[in-house]
Structures are given as C-alpha cells and as structure tokens.
C-alpha cells in the first residue's frame, strides 16, 4: 500500500525528521492562501503515487501567492503516467547545498532489509545508479539488530553521507519498523546552508498484510486512472504501471522489488510491478497468475515479460498452471521468461516444458532470467 508524499511527510514529522512546512489542498484558491501563510514563495507539488512528477511538470516553484494559484490550477487535473492529480502540496522552498538519496527496502532474497544510499541524490539518481553503480552503497540490515547509531554511521560512511545524517537514518528505520513498511525512501535528503538535514520528498510503501494495524491510511478511497491498474485492482492484484519495457510479475512485494532492481541492472527498464501474493495456494493462485499475466500482456509498452516465483504457500506448479491457462486462451506475441524455484518447482517446470510454447523459455536463476528478459526487450 503506497502512501502519498504528504502522508509520508506526516510520518516523518511524527518521528522527528525535519521536513519543510507544507499543506495539502484540492483548490487553487486555497493554494494561494497557503502560500500566503508560508511566506509567499513556495513549491507546488502534484500528489500522485508515481515517480517522474518533476519531468512531467508536476513540481513547480511559484514566486508569490498569485503565481501559486495559477500554478496549482495548471497542475490540478494533470495526467502523470496515468494518474490524475486531484491534490497538490504547497511547501516552503528549502535552500540546499547538498542532495542525498536514502532508502530502506525489504530484501526477501536475503531474509532481511537493505539500506541503499548515495551522496548523489535528486532527480537523476536512477541514471547515477546505472552509470556509476559504485556511487550507490547497498548495506544489508539484520532486522533483529536494526539500525542503531553505529549501523547508521556505517551506512553514512559507505555512501559518503555527512555525519549529520546519522540521526535521520536511525529515525527513518524507526518509521519502517513501527509503521509496517516495506519501503521507506527519501529523495532528496538535503543539507541546508544552515547545516540542517531535511527530507524534501518521501515515498513509503506499507505492508498490505498489516493494514489492520494501519487503519488511519485505509479510509482514503483509491481511484485508478490507468485502465490496467483498474483492471488489476478489480482482480485483486497489486499492480503498478511503470515506464519501461519489461513486464515483471512475482509473488511477494520484496521479491518483485528485487526483480525490478535486477532488470534495471541489466540495462532494461521495468514496465510493471505486479505481485500475485506470497501466501496464495491452490486454484486461487493459478487464477491470479493467469489474470496477472493477461493484464501485463495487454500493456502495449511491454516488449518482454519476466515471471519470477519462489514457491512457498504459492506453489510453482499452480503458477505454471496459471501460465498455461493464459497460453491456451490468448495468442502470445511477446516473449515470456519464467524462473521457478522453491515449492514444487520441478513439477512447475515440467508443466511448462510439456506446453512447449515457442515464445516461452525458462531460466534457472533470477539473474539469468532478468538478463534474458532485458535482452529480449531490446530485440523487440
């Protein structure tokens, strides 16, 4: 369950992390009033659950309250990657001297969490990670030990962050643990001319299985402007449309997130985040796999599809049955790479071998599967 930026900001503030003063509104006239309260010059930011807002024109600096009203009027109603902008956050501008990137993410493959940090944060962090992977530190975090001050100092040193960020790193970990989050990301985390460490933007993904403990976020009505997201939601799937060319399907949010990273590491961009769930068994699993694959294949931007499943309760043979169901029902026109491991993996692979579809191939590991999917996407 993704939070809006203003909701992430609210959590940061509750945990003592410094954030800019800001208010949220769905009215351009109220945006003007907020700007007046904040001192006149402000930043107007579209509130949508997707990245790339700045490049899409959804983040603008306004010089005064009148300009704020005009800017908010322009941003409200915009379509950003299929997401309609219904609210904006009006925030005070921050004079920065350095920008950093910090995130904690679930690493299901290692059975823990991963701290990802870089001294080169900002809008170009993805390009930095691709061009200069050594500039992005990846530090495993044992969930039993957590992020203490010493662990935070280790992360800061590995990433080249100033010592002043250590306290914020500890507090961000507290947000992740106490709020049942799978991902906590700040980009950018900045140092101001006065030496303050401020979280300018935030992204938080909560564990849907802990929704009963996070009821305050569950009352907001979710609308899907993207037809594929709406179709996936109607079928009980966790789906996010991305702006790449490799459709990614997996079981469990952590595994899917890791798969996205591995695909990107092989020079391709993920086109989808689709999680069929890690604790689904029997016929429901096969149905969800079939539904998920149908949704991803209907995306015109997808050039290849990667299915990465580690079987537990979600057994690999039922996943394979769902894939075969789709292959029997539709004409597959895009290459499909499947990696099955874990519970009933041998049986699942055999089911796919028996089907012997010319556009389907299997790979033994997540890395080889991602590499092949990326290669096929480039060829397509």
DSSP conformational letter for 245: S
Please name every residue paired with 141 in a beta bridge, in sequence order, or none if there are none.
113
Q: Is 4 a catalytic residue?
A: no
Residue 185 designated active-site: yes
DSSP 279: S
Cβ pair 87, 26 in contact under 8 A: yes
Alpha carbon distance 55, 272 (integer Å): 20
Q: What string of DSSP letters covers 34-59?
A: HHHHHTS-EEEEE--SSS-TTTTT-E
Contact partners, residue 51, CB within 8 Å, separation at least 6: none
- Helices 253-265 and 366-379: angle between axes, nearest 10 degrees: 60
3-class secondary-structure state, position 247: strand
Find the catalytic residue in 5, 99, 101, 229. 101
- Options 5, 185, 245, 321, the catalytic residue: 185
Judge contact between 335 and 362, C-beta under 8 A: no
Return the number of other C-beta atoms located less than 10 Å from residue 276's C-beta.
Answer: 30
Angle, nearest 10°, between helix axes 5-14 and 166-178? 110
Q: How far is CA 176 from CA 179, 183, 368, in A?
A: 6, 7, 31
Catalytic residue numbers, as ranges: 101, 185
């Amino acid at each position: 369950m993704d939070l809006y930026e203003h909701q992430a900001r609210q959590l940061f503030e509750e945990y003592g992390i410094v954030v800019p003063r800001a208010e949220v509104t769905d009215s351009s006239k109220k945006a003007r009033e907020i700007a007046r309260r904040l001192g006149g010059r402000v930043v107007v930011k579209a509130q949508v659950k997707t990245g790339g807002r700045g490049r899409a024109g959804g983040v603008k600096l306004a010089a005064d309250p009148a300009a704020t009203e005009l800017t908010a009027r322009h941003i409200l109603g915009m379509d950003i990657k299929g997401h309609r902008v219904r609210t904006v956050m009006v925030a005070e501008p921050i004079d920065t001297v350095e920008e950093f990137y910090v995130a904690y993410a679930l690493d299901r493959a290692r059975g823990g969490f991963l701290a990802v940090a870089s001294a080169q944060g900002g809008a170009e962090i993805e390009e930095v990670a691709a061009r200069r992977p050594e500039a992005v530190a990846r530090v495993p975090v044992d969930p039993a030990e957590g992020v203490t001050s010493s662990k935070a100092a280790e992360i800061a040193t590995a990433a080249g962050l100033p010592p002043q960020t250590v306290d914020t790193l500890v507090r961000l970990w507290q947000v992740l643990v106490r709020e049942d989050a799978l991902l906590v990301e700040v980009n950018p985390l900045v140092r101001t001319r006065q030496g303050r460490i401020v979280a300018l933007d935030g992204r938080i993904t909560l564990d849907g299985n802990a929704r009963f403990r996070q009821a305050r976020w569950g009352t907001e009505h979710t609308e899907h402007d993207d037809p594929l997201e709406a179709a996936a939601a109607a079928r009980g799937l966790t789906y996010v449309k991305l702006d790449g060319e490799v459709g990614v399907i997996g079981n469990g949010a952590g595994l899917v997130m890791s798969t996205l990273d591995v695909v990107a590491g092989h020079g391709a961009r993920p086109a989808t985040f689709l999680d069929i769930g890690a604790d689904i068994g029997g016929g429901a699993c096969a149905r969800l796999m079939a539904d998920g694959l149908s949704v991803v294949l209907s995306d015109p931007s997808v050039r290849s599809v990667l299915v990465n499943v580690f079987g537990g309760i979600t057994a690999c043979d039922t996943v394979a049955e769902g894939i075969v169901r789709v292959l029997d029902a539709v004409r597959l026109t895009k290459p499909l790479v499947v990696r099955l491991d874990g519970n009933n993996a041998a049986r699942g692979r055999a089911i796919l071998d028996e089907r012997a579809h010319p556009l389907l191939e299997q790979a033994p590991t997540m890395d080889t599967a991602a590499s092949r999917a990326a290669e096929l996407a480039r060829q397509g």
